[in-house]
Amino acid sequence: MLKTKLNLTTVALTLFISQSVQADWMDAAKNVVNKAAENSGSEIAQSALSNSDVVSGLKEALANGVKSAINSLGTSGGFSNSPVKIAIPDSLSTIATTVRTLGQGHYVDSLESTMNQAAEKAVPEAAEILSDAIRQMSVTDAMSILNGSDDAATQYFRKISESSLMERFKPIVTQATNSAGVTASYKNLTSQASPLLGGIMDKSSLDIDQYVTDKSLDGLFKYIAEEEKSIRSNPAARTTDLLKKVFAN
């Protein structure tokens, strides 16, 4: 009889403990689920806020990069006294060497100077076109740029605006190069030398205006890329609260 009572007591205790454990587990599970739901809601709200911040922050960063690049390159000496100085095309190096050997190196120097001056005149024209590219940026573009490489924004710029920049730059470069008599003379020289040089110099290398236009854009995008990299990697370059918030991580 005593043994039966003990067994019944044991069963009762077991059931009680089991129910208590189950209840505690269920309570814990509910807490986890509720907590997850709260966090999920918070993350969704934060995500929506972040999207807005990311777009605004990137637009601000790009605007800063464009302004800095144009201010640096679009002034007298901006190209000629910088790492993106436009040199004589490699395809014309034979002619340049020959001219210098004959003691007429000043023609080569004058051509280089004119090319860089033409680029400096063209660069400010980029402001309006690049501003349009910034305004066109979508949330998807912004997220892709933020999570991309150090020059992701510059690549976006090049993809969206390069053809328009080319159309805007070329006439300005042409006008600037044509205004210099030395440049016109040098174009004539390369035109006359082309048949003699044969395969050494292809037809496209004779288009100095296109060469200067291409190099102007290369220099512009190089400066924008450097500004972008600085903002991404150097906290001191984040000059506003929004830039600090977006690029903090």
Q: Where are the domains of the chain?
A: 52-247
The pLDDT tens digits of the residues spanning 197-208 come to 555 555 444 688
Instruction: Give the pLDDT confidence score for residue 222 in this predicted structure.
Output: 93
- What integer pLDDT is reported at residue 181 of this predicted model? 64
> Distance between CA 176 and CA 127 in Å, rounded?
19
The least confident of 43-57, 128-142, 219-233 is 43-57
- At residue 166 the predicted structure's pLDDT band, cuts being 50, 70 and 90, is very high
User: How confident is the model at residue 87, as a pLDDT?
Assistant: 92
| pLDDT confidence tier of residue 3, bands split at 50, 70 and 90 | very low
- Lowest mean pLDDT segment, chosen from 89-93, 172-176, 215-219, 241-245: 241-245
The overall pTM is greater than 0.85: no
pLDDT digits (tens, 9 = 90+) for 102-146: 787 787 888 888 889 889 989 998 998 988 888 888 888 888 888
123 Cβ contact partners less than 8 Å away, ≥ 6 residues apart: 69, 70, 73, 74, 78, 216, 219, 220
